[in-house]
Copies of this chain bind each other. A is one copy, B any other.
């Protein structure tokens, strides 16, 4: 069996994953620009040099937080696309999982990506473009699912536009999750949105 050999020097009080978890929740709650290094290290119970030993800049930390969010919550929200061959069941699962993530659990409300860096200074242009890309990627993933289910739609349906519409629904739900934080209201929004998909289906 493999023994975990302790590393050479003084052990760190917080590993990278724990640092990232705390940073993710703060960025999720307050956004990139509104979250200061001071707030981060205070929440972590460490000091700035320890943070910078793990992540070389605030920007890198934020990017890692976004990656972490995508890999866990983002994956969860889109998991329905692969689970269901019926495009309606697939998208209903996606929207309901969005509600779960946006208002549920022991984490901030809303969505790190949907409302991330929508407003920002020119100084953060690169990060803002990255977030806009991620939003567009999400829409593209939905569009690809629609295209792979083309036979389920009435002929001539603009599947790309339909995916943009559901992207807008998700982004709108993310805003309202911040404002009212009520799963019931979000479910109603999801259901109205799903009725559009229902109307585009062929039976």
Q: Give the dominant DSSP class at A's interface.
A: helix
User: Are A118 and B196 in touch, CB under 8 angstroms?
Assistant: no
For A108, the closest partner residue in chain B by CB is B119
User: Are B189 and A124 in touch, CB under 8 angstroms?
Assistant: no
User: Are B118 and A180 in touch, CB under 8 angstroms?
Assistant: no
User: Are A199 and B195 in touch, CB under 8 angstroms?
Assistant: yes
Complex interface: stretch among A6-14, A146-154, A165-173:
A165-173
User: Are A120 and B30 in touch, CB under 8 angstroms?
Assistant: yes
Q: Is A179 an interface residue (CB 8 A)?
A: yes
User: Are B171 and A31 in touch, CB under 8 angstroms?
Assistant: no
User: Are B189 and A176 in touch, CB under 8 angstroms?
Assistant: no
User: Are B122 and A118 in touch, CB under 8 angstroms?
Assistant: no
Within residues 96 to 138 of chain A, which ones have a CB less than 8 A from any CB in chain B? 110, 114-122, 124, 132, 135-136
Complex interface: stretch among A53-61, A67-75, A86-94, A156-164:
A156-164
Bound together, the chains give a CA A121 to CA B114 distance in angstroms of 18
Q: How many residues of A are in contact with the other chain, CB < 8 A?
A: 46
Chain B residues positioned under 8 Å from A162 (CB to CB):
192
Q: Which of B132, B136, B175 sits near A115, CB closer than 8 Å?
A: B175
User: Are A176 and B168 in touch, CB under 8 angstroms?
Assistant: yes
For A124, the closest partner residue in chain B by CB is B34
Chain B residues positioned under 8 Å from A158 (CB to CB):
188
Q: Which of B39, B119, B161, B189 sits near A30, CB closer than 8 Å?
A: B119
User: Are A169 and B172 in touch, CB under 8 angstroms?
Assistant: yes
Chain B residues positioned under 8 Å from A120 (CB to CB):
30-31, 34
User: Are A164 and B176 in touch, CB under 8 angstroms?
Assistant: yes
Bound together, the chains give a CA A122 to CA B31 distance in angstroms of 11
CB within 8 Å for A119 and B164 given contacts A171-B171, A175-B171: no
Chain B residues positioned under 8 Å from A122 (CB to CB):
30
Within the complex, the shortest CB–CB distance from A72 to chain B, in Å, comes to 19
Bound together, the chains give a CA A186 to CA B8 distance in angstroms of 58
Chain B residues positioned under 8 Å from A176 (CB to CB):
135, 164, 167-168, 171
